[in-house]
Amino acid sequence: MFLQLIQRFRERLVAHIDGPLLVIVMVLMGFGLATVYSATYDASNRALSQLLNMLVGLAVMWAVAQLPPQKLMRFAVPLYVLGIILLVLVFLVGVKVNGARRWLPLGFTRIQPSEILKIAMPLMLAWYFHKYEAALKFRHFAIAGLLLIVPLGLIAKQPDLGTAVLVGAAGFYVIFFAGLPWKVIIGMIVAGASAAPFVWTMLHDYQRKRILTLIDPTSDPLGSGYHIIQSTIAIGSGGGFGKGWLEGTQTHLEFIPERHTDFIFAVFSEERGLLGNSILVFLYLMLIARGLMITANASTLFARVLGGSITLSFFTYAFVNMGMVSGILPVVGVPLPFMSYGGTALVTLFLGLGILMSIQSHRMLVKK
Amino acid sequence: MYKRHSSFHTQDSELDRFRFRIAFAAGAVVLAFAILIGRFFYLQVVQHDYYTTRAEDNRISLVPITPNRGVILDRNGTILARNYSAFTLEITPSKIEDLDATIDGLAKIIEILPKDRRRFRRMLEESKTFESLPIRSRLSDEEVARFAANRYLFPGVEVKARLFRQYPLGSTASHAIGYINRINKTDLEVIEKNEQSANYKGTDHIGKTGLEQKYEFELHGETGYEEVEIDSGGRAVRSLSRTAPVSGNNLTLTLDMRLQEIAEKAFGERRGALVAIEPSTGGILALVSTPTFDPNLFVDGIRSEDWDLLNNSADRPMVNRALNGAYPPGSTFKPFMALAALELGKRTPGQTIFDPGFFNFGGHHFRDDKKGGHGTVDMYKSIVASCDTYYYMLANDMGIDNIARFMGSLGLGSRTGIDIEGESEGVLPSQEWKKRRFKRPEQQKWFAGETISVGIGQGYNAYTPMQLAQAVAALANNGVIYRPHLVKYITDTRTGEKTLIEPEPLRTLSWKPQNIETIKKAMVGVNKEGTGARAFAGAAYESGGKTGTAQVFSLKGSDYRAGKLKEVLRDHALFIAFAPADHPKIALAVLVENGGFGAQSAAPIARMVLDYYLLGKLPKGPAKEDETPEEDVEE
């Protein structure tokens, strides 16, 4: 009787949880915890508080996974509108931290509304395309583009390039999966490329310089190039098998900035080498593959475009982060998913994960 | 275009399109990750060595550990230069924004005098950019503790334990030992030329004069290194490895400090020089130049008042008179002239001349010192009584070039090669010398009349006391000349191995033994019955000597009366000696600037030195001048 109760509880607990996704994320978080520990143990250890963040994230994921996609759909418009309002408020009364106006004071704490858009944006666009599924016209794509560009502009204005990239990418993936014609995609790429020289001439000198530094960090070794120079040294000196856990000299001698957050990959890479990097990339690839599999089998347009967008967002995070730390992409504030320290980003990621699990577990129900 | 969108109505075809896009996205993801892996491969495999070096450079800093400078000892083991450790308060100017404010703040905790500030300013102007400079040295324990309690207020300021050079005997033999001082630009060039730059990374003092300078690279030692791991802020985190420094080699000198002290004291307040040599080795027993200076003043960066005092003094204490001052040898030249005459066959010992009191050359009277002359004079008497006329004639007979050749072989007029820098050549006059010396043709010609005063050690003649001492030693040693040297052996402080400085024979002059005997006998006569007899009265050993007086002020026809002339115009007094006469253990040359007659002021100094060296007899106070000039002193 009692055993039965436990059995039922267990079933209830795992009913909507996707095994493969969970395993992959657990392994990633294991790496993440070890790396956060290595990056912070000689100062103030953050591993424990990161573990708490992860538990909170898992709870959020579990809760979201219980909700069928139809219910999620209801949140789309209110969440999006709330996000926009908060962004406007930030623009008007936000708090400036380190030269960027990203925060909204709430008396006891402050929140970063742009974070909401990471989920609200794909949700809103997915809802929108789902609504007009029967007769998608070009103007629907145009309106979707507008829905994307307005908050994107507000975020970029803060400025928060990292979040803008993530939100923009998430929105674009929805539009892409909704069937944005290839001609338009190619047309946009061509237009963008040909506009670049004109934009270049319109930029201020300091803006150009900033872009040049992004391309060649050694041109400003003590300024913005410093991070990249030090992180590439960390990665390169890690070699094939790394210097060993807790043994990274670049890390422990504080040459790597933001080493437990955005630059955690440099720490990991220095201590684990090419082998560790390959395993990490493989894990992300598995995560994405599983996400895409779930998406491909999803039963509604809403679930498909949302799932596709969330899955590819994981890719965006991972690729942009590893790309910038290894010096092939400009430095923007993007965390490495499930590795970087930080509660907010983790919760957002788990939220996405929960949605994917919800899509997966409620697929049959819908079909039936 | 919009027609195509009608296909969205068909569920299956829409799903196919969607799945195609999923596949496309998957392909893009794989491609992007492949690019990343490629980048990692490039960084971690292809460029691995480069980045490893970069990482090592980043984290490892080599901190030099300055070696202990070698100690200098005299032949009896008396310490002449050593090191002691003391705490200094040092400021790294590059780490400090407002130097004055920092120093003002420090002055509240630790006494900082205006002279400390001035010295700091001066060093600041000369220093390399990143080094730390002392604002105060020799902190007391209490001061160190007081700073330690407040050090958080003063980033860029630290207390360091440093080794300081100390010269325990102060001014004694300071010209021979020399001193060290902070490295300047010229020194850096020397260091670079000797390929010692790496070894001097942590060193900020270097030998400036004397033995400290000459044996700099022996004394310095090998700098050690500590490999220190540093963080991005440049702070040392931990030590990785340590290569201990190797202390510099110790120098043991040929100098006998007690002899040196006695000789210096014998001069009293008088200016002058004394060089005493062991004839059989060339080892220098005493090297005196008075007045002296205290080398300890320089170690810590000399104060400008002290420097002005030393540099502007009319007595010029910084000049090493023994090596740098060139003086006419006066009558001390005569024994060598006589030897030259014997060797060249211009005279025999028994050959006599008649001295009427002057020598007539082309209508000009070269005066003898003794009115009415010495009468009949042979070689012995010419030396014992210091007869000028004898040597006027001899010089005339020999000719300037013969004189120059013989005196040159004795080492006069060229550097002796002693192991200290800054030796003067002196002047050995000859026809060729005059051609080199003067520019205008009418001045370049040598006149026979000029040879005559050269014969009594006047005229163009000018030699350093060092050269004279070497010449005496050559005579005492029967013609074998050793290179004069101050260092007896060098001790490797690591192995304790001693490297002896072998006596180095420079030349062997094959003089006939009977000629040498003749001269030595005459010089013994000088101290027994001649011009040196009063100074050497009652000596318990037999010694050879010769007095000399070098003209400073030319007197034309009138009597020379010392008392009437200002001191600086008085003649220089000289004395050369060797003893014991049969087997000389010491040869010396003494010069007293403006001392008047050699017999009066220089000979008593020589007596004191010989008394101590041969008998261990200690003098009472400085050598006294003979007040009453003797009848038959030289010119």
Give residue-wise pLDDT tens across range B250-296: 999 999 999 999 999 999 889 999 999 999 999 999 999 989 999 99
**Is B22 in Cβ contact with A295 (below 8 Å)?**
yes
Provide the pLDDT for residue A110: 74
- Best of A138, A249, A284, A311 to substitute, by most chain B Cβ atoms within 10 angstroms, is A249
Query: What's the mean pLDDT in A227-237?
Result: 89
Domain count, chain B: 1
CA distance A21 to chain B (A): 17
Provide the pLDDT for residue B631: 40
CA distances A226 to A248, A346, B607, Å, are 18, 27, 78
Any bridge partners for residue B166, and if so which? B82
Provide the pLDDT for residue A248: 86
On the question of pLDDT at B329 being above 80, the answer is yes
Ranges assigned E (strand) in B430-543:
480-482, 487-491, 498-500, 505-508
Q: What is the pLDDT of residues B545-568, one digit of tens each?
A: 999 988 875 544 444 555 555 666
List of chain A residues whose C-beta atoms are within 8 Å of the C-beta of residue B16: none
B267, containing H or E segment:
helix B257-267
List of chain B residues whose C-beta atoms are within 8 Å of the C-beta of residue A277: 37, 40, 44
User: Which of A195-199, A216-220, B127-131, B462-466 has maximum average pLDDT?
Assistant: B462-466
**Is A288 in Cβ contact with B17 (below 8 Å)?**
no
Provide the pLDDT for residue A366: 47
Q: What is the pLDDT of residues B85-138, one digit of tens each?
A: 888 888 887 677 788 888 888 888 888 888 888 888 877 776 654 567 888 888
Backbone angles phi, psi at A85, to 5 degrees: -60, -45
Q: For B19, name the nearest residue in chain A, comparing CA atoms only.
A: A296
Query: What's the mean pLDDT in A120-131?
Result: 94
Question: Which amino acid is it at A49?
Answer: S
A105, containing H or E segment:
strand A100-105
Q: What is the pLDDT of residues B248-261, one digit of tens each?
A: 999 999 999 999 99
Per-residue tokens: A9? 């509880």
Range scoring the smallest mean pLDDT among A102-106, A230-234, B25-29, B537-541: A102-106
CA distances B510 to B66, B286, B474, B520, Å, are 51, 28, 11, 16
Nearest Cα residue to B508 out of B485, B482, B540, B476: B482
User: Which of B42-46, B153-157, B243-247, B551-555 has maximum average pLDDT?
Assistant: B42-46
CA distance A184 to chain B (A): 11
Provide the pLDDT for residue B556: 42
Provide the pLDDT for residue A57: 94
Per-residue tokens: B477? 């040693």
On the question of pLDDT at A137 being above 70, the answer is yes
User: Which of A286-295, B62-71, B116-125 has maximum average pLDDT?
Assistant: A286-295
The CA angle B484-B490-B493, to the nearest 5 degrees, is 165
Backbone angles phi, psi at B159, to 5 degrees: -95, 130
Provide the pLDDT for residue A218: 67
Q: pTM for the full model?
A: 0.64
Say if residues B397 and B383 touch (Cβ distance below 8 Å): no
CA distance B51 to chain A (A): 5
Say if residues A363 and A300 touch (Cβ distance below 8 Å): no
Backbone angles phi, psi at B116, to 5 degrees: -65, -40
Which is more confident, B422 or A107?
B422
Q: Is residue B127 annotated as a catalytic residue, yes or no? A: no
Provide the pLDDT for residue B583: 93
Residue B570 per-residue DSSP state:
S
Nearest Cα residue to B334 out of B434, B249, B263, B403: B403
**Is A319 in Cβ contact with B51 (below 8 Å)?**
no
Q: Does the ipTM exceed 0.90? A: yes
Residue B484 per-residue DSSP state:
P
Distance CA B525, CA B520 (A): 8
Question: Which amino acid is it at B378?
Answer: D
List of chain B residues whose C-beta atoms are within 8 Å of the C-beta of residue A234: 55
The string of DSSP letters for B583-611 reads S-SEEEEEEETT--SIIIIIHHHHHHHHI
Distance CA B419, CA B423 (A): 10
CA distance B182 to chain A (A): 34
On the question of pLDDT at B188 being above 70, the answer is yes
Active-site residue identified among B174, B289, B331, B386: B331
List of chain B residues whose C-beta atoms are within 8 Å of the C-beta of residue A137: 2, 5
Band of pLDDT at residue B595, cut at 50, 70 and 90? confident
Per-residue tokens: B493? 């402080």
B428, containing H or E segment:
none
Question: Which amino acid is it at B545?
Answer: G
On the question of pLDDT at B634 being above 50, the answer is no
Please enumerate in sequence order all residues whose Cβ is within 8 A of that of A50, keeping only pairs 6 or more positions apart, or say none.
Answer: A32, A33, A36, A341
Q: Is the dihedral of CA A224, A230, A231, A233 positive or negative?
A: positive
Q: Is residue B102 a part of any domain in this protein?
A: yes
Provide the pLDDT for residue A220: 61
CB pairs under 8 A between A and B: 136
Backbone angles phi, psi at A98, to 5 degrees: 55, 40
**Is B21 in Cβ contact with A308 (below 8 Å)?**
yes
**Is B5 in Cβ contact with A179 (below 8 Å)?**
yes
Provide the pLDDT for residue A198: 84
CA distance B97 to chain A (A): 20
List of chain B residues whose C-beta atoms are within 8 Å of the C-beta of residue A263: none
Of A133, A230, A326, the CB nearest to B43: A326
A42, containing H or E segment:
none
Distance CA A322, CA B117 (A): 55
Q: What is the pLDDT of residues A16-37, one digit of tens each?
A: 899 999 999 999 999 999 999 9
Q: For B15, name the nearest residue in chain A, comparing CA atoms only.
A: A296
Any bridge partners for residue B290, and if so which? B272
Of B18, B230, B233, the CB nearest to A304: B18
Per-residue tokens: A277? 């990097």
Say if residues B612 and B256 touch (Cβ distance below 8 Å): no
**Is B40 in Cβ contact with A274 (below 8 Å)?**
yes
Q: Is A182 helix (H, G, I), strand (E, B) or coil?
A: helix
Q: What is the pLDDT of residues A64-78, one digit of tens each?
A: 999 999 899 999 999
Distance CA B316, CA B309 (A): 9
Of B4, B14, B44, the CB nearest to A236: B44
Query: What's the mean pLDDT in B574-580?
Result: 94
Q: Which residues of B are annotated as a binding site?
A: 355, 368, 374, 387
Q: What is the pLDDT of residues B445-500, one digit of tens each?
A: 898 889 999 999 998 999 999 999 999 999 999 999 999 999 999 999 888 899 99
Distance linking the first and last C-alpha atoms of chain A: 32
List of chain A residues whose C-beta atoms are within 8 Å of the C-beta of residue B10: none
Which is more confident, A66 or B12?
A66
Q: Is B232 helix (H, G, I), strand (E, B) or coil?
A: coil
CA distance A135 to chain B (A): 7
- Best of A129, A186, A228, A233 to substitute, by most chain B Cβ atoms within 10 angstroms, is A233
Q: Is residue B113 a part of any domain in this protein?
A: yes
Bridge pairing between strands B72-73 and B250-253: parallel
- Best of B7, B16, B33 to substitute, by most chain A Cβ atoms within 10 angstroms, is B33
Q: Which residues of B are annotated as a binding site for Zn(2+)?
A: 355, 368, 374, 387
Say if residues A326 and A238 touch (Cβ distance below 8 Å): no
Of B5, B43, B55, the CB nearest to A249: B55
The shares of helix, strand and coil residues in chain B, as percent rounded to the nearest 5, are 40, 20, 40
**Is A239 in Cβ contact with B52 (below 8 Å)?**
yes
List of chain A residues whose C-beta atoms are within 8 Å of the C-beta of residue B48: 236-237, 239-240
Q: For A134, name the nearest residue in chain B, comparing CA atoms only.
A: B9
Helices A19-40 and A264-296 pack at an angle, to 10 degrees, of: 170
**Is A253 in Cβ contact with B48 (below 8 Å)?**
no
Band of pLDDT at residue B315, cut at 50, 70 and 90? confident
- Best of A42, A227, A247, A253 to substitute, by most chain B Cβ atoms within 10 angstroms, is A253
Per-residue tokens: B289? 């130049």
Say if residues B434 and B444 touch (Cβ distance below 8 Å): yes
CA distance B6 to chain A (A): 7
On the question of pLDDT at B233 being above 70, the answer is no
**Is A326 in Cβ contact with B44 (below 8 Å)?**
no
Which is more confident, B236 or A323?
A323
Provide the pLDDT for residue B75: 93
Distance CA B433, CA B439 (A): 12
Distance CA B428, CA B405 (A): 9
Of B4, B25, B45, the CB nearest to A292: B25
Percent above pLDDT 70 for chain B:
92
Q: Is the dihedral of CA B124, B130, B136, B138 positive or negative?
A: negative
On the question of pLDDT at B159 being above 50, the answer is yes
Helices A343-361 and A264-296 pack at an angle, to 10 degrees, of: 20
Of B5, B39, B54, the CB nearest to A326: B39
CA distance A182 to chain B (A): 10
Q: How many residues does chain B have?
A: 635
Distance CA B491, CA B187 (A): 25
Please enumerate in sequence order all residues whose Cβ is within 8 A of that of B324, keeping only pairs 6 or more positions apart, or say none.
Answer: B422, B423, B424, B464
**Is B18 in Cβ contact with A177 (below 8 Å)?**
yes
Please enumerate in sequence order all residues whose Cβ is within 8 A of that of A146, keeping only pairs 6 or more positions apart, or say none.
Answer: none
Distance CA B382, CA B336 (A): 12
Say if residues A125 and A145 touch (Cβ distance below 8 Å): no
Say if residues A47 and A41 touch (Cβ distance below 8 Å): yes
**Is A296 in Cβ contact with B58 (below 8 Å)?**
no
Distance CA A236, CA A250 (A): 11
On the question of pLDDT at B62 being above 80, the answer is no
**Is A312 in Cβ contact with B2 (below 8 Å)?**
no
Q: Tokens 């060098």 map to which residue?
A: B490
The string of DSSP letters for B452-475 reads HHHTTT-TT-BB-HHHHHHHHHHH
Please enumerate in sequence order all residues whose Cβ is within 8 A of that of B361, keeping only pairs 6 or more positions apart, or say none.
Answer: B392, B396, B448, B449, B452
Per-residue tokens: B322? 């023994």
> Which contacts (CB < 8 Å, 24+ apart) does range B74-79 have?
B74/B252, B74/B253, B74/B255, B74/B256, B74/B257, B74/B260, B75/B252, B75/B253, B75/B254, B75/B255, B75/B256, B75/B488, B76/B256, B76/B257, B76/B258, B77/B252, B78/B169, B78/B257, B79/B168
- Residues spanned by the domain of B148: 84-167
Distance CA B357, CA A263 (A): 105
Q: What is the pLDDT of residues B381-438, one digit of tens each?
A: 999 999 999 999 999 999 999 999 999 999 999 999 999 988 999 999 999 999 988 8
On the question of pLDDT at A104 being above 60, the answer is yes
On the question of pLDDT at B3 being above 60, the answer is no
Residues on B contacting A at a C-beta cutoff of 8 Å: 1-2, 4-5, 8-9, 14, 17-19, 21-22, 25-26, 29-30, 32-33, 35-37, 39-41, 43-45, 47-48, 50-52, 54-55, 58-59, 229-233, 237
B349, containing H or E segment:
none
Say if residues A342 and A46 touch (Cβ distance below 8 Å): no
Please enumerate in sequence order all residues whose Cβ is within 8 A of that of B406, keeping only pairs 6 or more positions apart, or say none.
Answer: B336, B339, B340, B343, B344
**Is A235 in Cβ contact with B5 (below 8 Å)?**
no
Which is more confident, A179 or B238?
A179
The residues spanned by each domain of chain A are 19-66+217-301+326-363
Any bridge partners for residue B463, and if so which? B327
Query: What's the mean pLDDT in B52-68?
Result: 82
Q: For A270, name the nearest residue in chain B, comparing CA atoms only.
A: B44
In this structure, how many other beta carbons lie within 10 angstroms of the beta carbon of residue B441? 8
Say if residues B355 and B389 touch (Cβ distance below 8 Å): yes
